[in-house]
């Protein structure tokens, strides 16, 4: 068994972990990321949307959104359609930042790769193939144990190991488990540019309450369409439950006669399905030297479009807290005090949104009839989601590269 000493140990090299490493560098720390997976494993998931509040957090970390999000494209608006395809509402996904940057959609793998590259340019080491098994606090530090027997000690451990976090259960063995939201997630990218009839307007994420399942799609600058679908489901799907062929046939049946079916036919490889889950409330976010961030602390329903943005905001706030408080326990307390109320409000909002995705025929008819009216009323006094999109975490001082 080998033991290594570090200053700050970051568990997980996803969005929260890489962003936390950038923030820790800005706070004068020397983080090392321990990631369970191997480089290039990040293909899970299709694409995600970084809302303007998350884009602002990237900038606050000293990362240039034009570089990190270079492989994405602008999606500043959302069009909601009913089962018949009728437009129910079109709403902004937050206004532009002062530099003109807007909400951006990017492949998950591209975002992970760009953040890891950014961390690399700031001198952050990423150690792959290291799944954390447990962590514990000692008198003046923390010890992390990894599969295979390696042990690492440090002054601080940031648990950014996602939805099924081992850090979370190490902190609190009775921590709640993720909650299945009753929806599966699947998606893909059309093999090439699609015919103009299928191409939605650029910059507008389309979402449709289809007759049998929810469908979302957007036009990439190269004329391909990126899409996702959320079939409803009583219990979580088991690994390997669907063969790729059976899953495709099921989707084609669900979206028969809707734009989704044509887009699925234009896609060689359909990705997923994955179970969608959230984490309503995690009572323990921190010990004296261990802290949770990102999905490990507060997974948001995917339909909120805020999970990645929350992870980025967390990282910035953690960086500020560590700069302001030399004492680590005090810094972690300040981080939790600054973040808990906001993220729990976003989690609750995401769960409500997930619940409206698939309704019975009567509920769907009422929703389609009422939504245009309700949306007009809600927007009369400004954007009702401004509290999400207009949140701005303050900029961290930059770190010499």
Q: Give bridge partners of residue 277 from the DSSP assignment.
A: 180
Nearer to ligand FAD, 48 or 290 (CB): 48
Query: What is the per-residue binding string for ligand FAD in 347-386, x denoting contact by CB under 6 A?
Result: ----------------------------------------
Can you tell me the distance from the alpha carbon of 383 to that of 391, in angstroms, rounded to the nearest whole number? Answer: 13
Q: Which of 107, 153, 112 is nearest to 12 (CA)?
A: 112
Residue owning tokens 């359909």: 270
Using the contact rule CB under 6 A, the part of the chain among 96-104, 304-312, 365-373, 388-396 near ligand FAD is 304-312
Shortest distance, position 7 Cβ to ligand FAD, whole Å: 18
Q: Which two tokens stand for residue 387?
A: 């509290």
Size of the chain, expressed as the number of residues it contains: 401
Residue owning tokens 């009728």: 86
Please give the helix or strand (H or E) that residue 387 lies within, else none: helix 386-389
Residue owning tokens 């979370």: 168
Q: What is the DSSP letter of 366?
A: H
166 contacts ligand FAD (rule: CB under 6 A): yes
Can you tell me the distance from the alpha carbon of 142 to that of 136, in angstroms, rounded to the nearest whole number? Answer: 6
Size of the site for ligand FAD (CB under 6 A): 33
Task: Determine which residue in the list 22, 254, 308, 343 makes contact with ligand FAD, applying CB under 6 A.
Answer: 308
Task: Determine which residue in the list 118, 145, 185, 368 makes contact with ligand FAD, applying CB under 6 A.
Answer: 185
160 contacts ligand FAD (rule: CB under 6 A): yes
Nearer to ligand FAD, 94 or 368 (CB): 94
Query: What is the per-residue binding string for ligand FAD in 11-40, x denoting contact by CB under 6 A?
Result: xxxxxxx----------------xxxx---
Nearer to ligand FAD, 282 or 368 (CB): 282
231 contacts ligand FAD (rule: CB under 6 A): no
76 contacts ligand FAD (rule: CB under 6 A): no
DSSP string, 188-222: EE-SSPPPGGGPPPTTEEEEEE-SSSEEEEEE-TT
Shortest distance, position 235 Cβ to ligand FAD, whole Å: 17
Can you tell me the distance from the alpha carbon of 400 to that of 394, in angstroms, rounded to the nearest whole number? Answer: 19
Task: Note whether 275 and 236 are within 8 A (CB).
Answer: yes
Query: What is the per-residue binding string for ligand FAD in 263-302, x denoting contact by CB under 6 A?
Result: -----------x-------------------xxx---x-x
307 contacts ligand FAD (rule: CB under 6 A): yes
Shortest distance, position 200 Cβ to ligand FAD, whole Å: 17
Greatest CA separation for the chain: 65
Task: Determine which residue in the list 118, 145, 161, 313 makes contact with ligand FAD, applying CB under 6 A.
Answer: 161
* SS3 assignment, position 140: coil
Report how far apart the first and last C-alpha atoms of the chain are (Å, whole number).
34
Can you tell me the distance from the alpha carbon of 28 to that of 32, in angstroms, rounded to the nearest whole number? Answer: 13
48 contacts ligand FAD (rule: CB under 6 A): yes
Shortest distance, position 187 Cβ to ligand FAD, whole Å: 8
Task: Note whether 263 and 217 are within 8 A (CB).
Answer: yes
Q: Give bridge partners of residue 48 from the DSSP assignment.
A: 106
309 contacts ligand FAD (rule: CB under 6 A): yes
Q: Which two tokens stand for residue 160?
A: 């950014």
Query: How far lies 228's CA from each of 163, 208, 212, in Å?
Result: 20, 11, 14
Nearer to ligand FAD, 321 or 354 (CB): 354
Shortest distance, position 22 Cβ to ligand FAD, whole Å: 13
180 contacts ligand FAD (rule: CB under 6 A): no
Shortest distance, position 326 Cβ to ligand FAD, whole Å: 27
Task: Determine which residue in the list 92, 96, 129, 131 makes contact with ligand FAD, applying CB under 6 A.
Answer: 131
- Footprint on this chain of ligand FAD (rule: CB under 6 A): 11-17, 34-37, 45, 48-49, 131-132, 160-162, 166, 185, 274, 294-296, 300, 302, 305-309, 311
């Amino acid at each position: 068994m080998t033991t290594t000493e570090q200053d700050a140990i970051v568990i997980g090299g996803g969005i929260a972990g890489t962003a936390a490493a950038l923030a820790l560098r800005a706070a004068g720390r020397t983080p090392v990321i321990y990631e369970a997976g191997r480089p290039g494993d990040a293909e899970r998931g299709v694409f995600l949307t970084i809302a303007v509040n998350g884009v602002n957090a990237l900038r606050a970390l000293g990362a240039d959104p034009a570089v990190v999000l270079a492989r994405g494209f602008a999606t500043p608006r959302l069009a909601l359609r009913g089962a018949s395809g009728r437009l129910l509402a079109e709403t902004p996904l937050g206004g532009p930042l002062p530099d003109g940057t807007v909400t951006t959609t990017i492949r998950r793998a591209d975002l992970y790769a760009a953040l890891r590259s950014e961390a690399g340019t700031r001198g952050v080491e990423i150690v792959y193939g290291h799944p954390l098994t447990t962590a514990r606090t000692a008198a003046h530090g923390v010890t992390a144990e990894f599969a295979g027997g390696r042990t690492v000690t440090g002054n601080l451990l940031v648990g950014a190991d996602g939805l099924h976090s081992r850090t979370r259960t190490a902190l609190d063995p009775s921590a709640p488990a993720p909650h299945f939201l009753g929806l599966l997630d699947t998606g893909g990218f059309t093999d090439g540019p699609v015919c103009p009839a299928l191409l939605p307007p650029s910059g507008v994420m389309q979402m449709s309450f289809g007759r049998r399942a929810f469908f979302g799609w957007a036009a990439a600058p190269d004329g391909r369409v990126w899409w996702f679908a959320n079939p409803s489901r009583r219990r979580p799907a088991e690994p390997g439950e669907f063969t790729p062929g059976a899953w495709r046939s099921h989707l084609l049946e669900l979206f028969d006669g809707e734009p989704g079916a044509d887009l699925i036919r234009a896609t060689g490889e359909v990705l997923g399905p994955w179970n969608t889950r959230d984490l309503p409330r995690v009572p323990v976010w921190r010990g004296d030297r261990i802290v949770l961030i990102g999905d490990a602390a507060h997974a948001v329903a995917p339909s909120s479009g805020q999970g990645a943005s929350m992870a980025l905001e967390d990282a910035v706030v953690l960086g500020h807290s560590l700069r302001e408080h030399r004492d680590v326990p005090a810094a972690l307390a300040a981080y939790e005090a600054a973040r808990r109320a906001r993220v729990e409000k976003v989690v609750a909002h995401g769960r409500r949104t997930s619940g409206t995705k698939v309704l019975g025929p009567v509920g769907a008819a009422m929703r389609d009839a009422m939504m245009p009216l309700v949306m007009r009323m809600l927007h009369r006094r400004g954007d009702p989601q401004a509290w999400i999109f207009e949140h701005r975490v303050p900029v961290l001082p930059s770190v010499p590269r």
